[in-house]
A = this chain, B = another copy of it.
């Protein structure tokens, strides 16, 4: 594999300037400018074939998802995405795969208004490492650690769809064609909630993106905020019709609470801000619903029709078996 030729052919055309880019792909490193008024926000995530996607998956979707899952972390900080570096490990320089991957990358870069500023192509087992860069006005980033007892817990979008999409792929579920298309799309093409994250800067007390399942990620907020607890109303969990039609209540809760890869935002707001959430999010194209409250209990309790329910949830492990 001739790294330079590959980079030149497929990735250099995608490196076309962008806000704050003094020098993009093509030198030892990129040179970037962060405005005085802003802080840099940085995250990194790797998708490995066999763990996060299937070897035979459409490379266009793989590229999209590799970008989206990173942008989702920026969204959870309330940051505006700016730049991306990409490291692709490939067993061989198969041109068809690369051109389809580059297509998905281009779609995602365009959709999220990102500039590709650095890259590496490496020979080895298929894997995609992305580092994503965003900016946020100084002091305005959303973090995990400022939830307070009594805060309302909200979630954007619907939960459990991606996990159900994966269950369809692994034949653990079956459904009709239109539900299947919807759920698979949610698994393969997650949408990072960038506009929602930005809109929440002045209202959310804490925020996280849901990559490992609502409960696992909510626990990060609760732990970082001082070993707090939560009371979750199972009847309030936002789920799609496609998923509801597919399973029993208990299965639905399992998907929604522990499913993983939703890439929705879970955030907390002070009690007096509860009624302003819908208005704040109006322009973002995504809705959020309250699903419970932060408590001092140190644990997460579940309610169904007002009564406590005990649930045993398995942790989300992508598709390790």
Asked if A44 contacts B131 (CB within 8 A), the reply is yes
Asked if A51 contacts B127 (CB within 8 A), the reply is no
| A contact patch SS | strand
Asked if A48 contacts B89 (CB within 8 A), the reply is yes
Residues of A32-54 contacting chain B, CB below 8 A:
32-34, 36, 39-52
In the complex with contacts A46-B129, A123-B51, A127-B125, A31-B41 CB distance below 8 A? yes
Chain B residues with CB under 8 Å of A320's CB are 1, 123
Chain B residues with CB under 8 Å of A32's CB are 39-42
The count of residues in chain A whose C-beta lies closer than 8 Å to any C-beta of chain B is 66
Report which of B26, B36, B143 forms a contact with A36, defined as CB distance below 8 A: B36
Asked if A74 contacts B27 (CB within 8 A), the reply is no
- Is residue A118 within 8 Å, beta carbon to beta carbon, of the partner chain? yes
Contact with B along A89-129 (1 / 0, CB 8 A): 10000000000000000000000000001111011110101
Asked if A44 contacts B136 (CB within 8 A), the reply is no
22 contacts between A and B (CB under 8 A): A27-B77, A27-B224, A28-B144, A29-B132, A32-B40, A32-B41, A36-B36, A42-B85, A42-B118, A42-B131, A44-B85, A44-B87, A44-B131, A45-B120, A46-B120, A46-B129, A47-B122, A49-B124, A51-B123, A89-B127, A118-B131, A122-B127
